[in-house]
Every structure is written in C-alpha cells, then in structure tokens.
Amino acid sequence: MAARASTTANPEAYIATLMARFDSKEQQLFQALRKALRKRFPTLNELVYDYGKKVVIGYSPTEAGGEGLVALSADGEGVRLYLTNGSSIPDPRKLLLGKAGARYMVLESIQELQKAEVEALLCAAVERAKVPVPAGGKGALIVKETTASKKAKKPVKR
C-alpha cells in the first residue's frame, strides 16, 4: 500500500498524490493552468477537494468554496475551468458549457486560458463575486475534507 501524503503537513505533495491518478498530459495541463490561475488570482485561497474520481481546486476569497470565483477540475477525461456564477456572466462567444449556476469550459491547452475572450469571462466573474477579491495579501493553500478523502483515510478492516 502506498503511503499517503499528509494533507496538512504538505498540501503540495497531497495534490501530487491526487493527480497521480491521471495521465501525464492531464497532470501537466492541470498544473500549468493552476500556476496561471495562481498568478491571475494571487490573493485568493486555493481550496483543494478530492472527490474520488475528480480533483478540484477552487479559488475563493474565503475558505468557503461557494464564495469562490473559479475552479479547476481534472477527472481523467479532461481538465475543466468552472466559473462559479457562470450562469450570470455574459458569454457572447458561447464558450461556457452546462446549464447549472457553475458553468465551465473544457481546456486542452494553457493558451486557451490566455485568450482575450476567456480573460473577459474571468473579469466578469470577479465583478460578480459574492465576496470581493482582496486587493492585497497572498491566498493560502487549503485542503478541504470531502466524503472521498474521509473514506480514503479510514483503515481497511481485514
């Protein structure tokens, strides 16, 4: 049995452990997009979630995911960028998929995130944020407990 990284002692190692589920191309894209989002939103917290088959990192001004602006997800079938209030964001180019409040884009390269029309969506997400984006400071990396991560911590009965 592989050793699990401590989620609180070394969250970066924990993220690497979670991402090891996916092929190297998806891992590299996820990490490149994560780096770009961290640069774009340096004052927001990164909230890490393990949903079993899906890994999600949300970007929020608080420790609450529901107050986040965007989230990055990987699930073995691709990498998606979610806009938390996507249904209220103007999308003249029809880039956003889904019908729920949090709408998303499937990203296949870092260049897609750098397009002007995607930046316009990110700006609109900032304008519609439930909690204002802090003007200064540095966001924290926070591992959030989920049902999947709690189950993974339980010892196996033999």
Sign of CA pseudo-dihedral 136, 142, 147, 148: positive
pLDDT over 70 at 153, yes or no: no
> Which tokens hold the place of 139?
């966001």
Name the H helices within the chain. Answer: 11-19, 24-40, 110-113, 116-127, 147-153
Evaluate whether residue 33 is within a structural domain. yes
pTM, 2 dp: 0.86
**Tally of structural domains, the chain:** 1
Evaluate whether residue 155 is within a structural domain. no
Evaluate whether residue 35 is within a structural domain. yes
Q: What is the pLDDT of residue 120?
A: 96
Tens of pLDDT, residue by residue over 68-115, are 999 999 999 999 999 998 999 999 999 999 988 889 999 999 999 999
Evaluate whether residue 3 is within a structural domain. no
Q: What is the pLDDT of residue 102?
A: 87
| pLDDT bracket for residue 3 (50, 70, 90) | very low
Evaluate whether residue 91 is within a structural domain. yes
Evaluate whether residue 105 is within a structural domain. yes
Evaluate whether residue 4 is within a structural domain. no
Question: For position 96, which CATH number holds?
Answer: 3.90.1150.20
Evaluate whether residue 77 is within a structural domain. yes
Domain holding 95, by residue range, is 11-130+138-143
